[in-house]
Copies of this chain bind each other. A is one copy, B any other.
Amino acid sequence: MRIIECVPNVSEGRRTEVIQAMVACLRAQPGVLLLDYHSDPDHNRTVFTLIGDDPALIRAMRELYRLAVEHIDMRKHRGEHPRAGAVDVCPFVPIAGVTMDDCVALARELGQQIAETFRIPVFLYAEAATKEDRRLLPNIRKGEFEGWFEKIRDPNWQPDFGPAEVHPTAGITVIGARPPLIAYNVNLGTNHLDIAKRIARGVRFSSGGFRHVQAAGFALKERDQVQVSMNLLNFRETPIHRVFEVIKAEAERYGVPVVGSEIVGLIPLEALVQVADFYLRLEGFQMDQILEWKIQQVLFERLTGTTE
C-alpha cells in the first residue's frame, strides 16, 4: 500500500463559508481522503491533512489553490501566525510504501503546475530545497507577505518556479517534502507574551534549543493566556515529552504554570507511545503490544501469507 500525506496550510481560519468550500472541494476529489482539518481563528489559518496517491493529490491541490486564489486577499489578511501566501505552505510526507525522493518529485511537479497555472512564485523547501538556506521554512517566510515584494528583488531569493513577482493577492507559496511533523502548543497560565516568547527562544533550534524544534510565542486573546506554539520536525530525535518538560521547567522559573498542551491535527501513534514510555519508565515495550496494532498486523500477515 502506497500512502502519501499532504498537509496544505491555508491563510484563512475565520470565514466559515470559505473553509467549508475548501473542505467540500477536497472531500469531492476521487483518490484522495481528507483525514482532518483544523482552523485557528487567532492564527487565521487552516491546516488540512490529506492522503492519496500521486496524481490524485496533484489534482486535489490544484483545486485548493484555485479556491485560495479566488477567496483570499493577503492584503487584508491578519493573524498571529507568520504567513507569506494564500496557500502558505504545502508539504508532502512519505507515510507507507513511498520514499522521500518520491515526495520530492511530487513537490517539484506540483510547484511547476501551480507556477504556470496561477502565476504564483513557488519556493521549494525542506527535503525538496534547491539551496541550503531554503531548507527551513522560517527562512523563506521571513518578511512575510508584506516584505516579499522587496525580498523577491534579491538575486538570492529568485523562485524555483514561476515569475520573480509576488502575486498581488495570493503572495508566494512554499512547497516541499519532509518527515512527519507534529504541531504542538503549550499553554501558559499568564497573559505576559514576553514569557512565552522567551521560553520559545529557549527551546527552538534557531536560538540554541532543540535541533528539530521551531517555536514562537503567541497571545491567546480569547483565553487571556499565552502559548508556546511549535513545530516538532523530527519526533524520533526530539520527542514531545523532552520539549514539554523543558517548557515546564522554564515556566516555573517565572512562577507560571503550564495549564495545558495541544496537539494540532494528526500525530503518528509512535510519538504518543514515546510519551507513555518515558513517563512510565517502560522496560522493553514494543509497538506490537498494542492490541489494535497487533490485531491489524496479524490479520494482514494472515491475508498476505507472510507469517512464519
Contact = CB atoms under 8 A, between A and B. Distances in A.
Interface of A: 3, 5, 33, 35-36, 51, 95, 180, 187, 240-241, 244, 258-263, 265-269, 272-273, 275-276, 279-285, 288-296, 298-299, 302
A279 B241 contact: yes
A36 to B, nearest CB: 7
Nearest to A264: B289
Contacts of A261: 280-283
A299 B273 CA distance: 23
Contacts of A240: 280
Contacts of A282: 260-263
Contacts of A273: 272
Given A281-B261, A282-B263, A298-B35, A180 B291 contact: yes
A48 to B, nearest CB: 13
A292 B269 contact: yes
Contact of A289 (B36, B95, B276, B284): B36
Given A3-B295, A266-B289, 5 more contacts: A266-B290, A267-B291, A268-B290, A275-B276, A296-B296
A293 B292 CA distance: 9
A283 B187 contact: yes
A218 to B, nearest CB: 15
B289 A269 contact: no
A69 B285 CA distance: 32
A292 B36 CA distance: 13
Nearest to A240: B280
Q: Tell me which of A258, A283, A299 has the highest count of chain B C-beta atoms within 10 A of its own C-beta.
A: A283
A272 B258 contact: no
Contacts of A5: 291
Nearest to A265: B289
A263 B283 CA distance: 8
Nearest to A262: B283
Nearest to A259: B281
A273 B6 CA distance: 25
Rank and list the top 7 A-B pairs by shortest CB-CB distance, nearest first. Answer: A275-B276, A260-B283, A279-B279, A266-B291, A272-B276, A260-B281, A269-B292
B258 A281 contact: yes
Contacts of A3: 295
Contacts of A269: 269, 290-293
A272 B290 contact: yes
A95 B296 CA distance: 13
Contacts of A262: 282-285
12 contacts: A36-B289, A95-B291, A241-B279, A241-B280, A258-B281, A263-B285, A265-B289, A266-B289, A269-B292, A275-B275, A276-B276, A279-B279
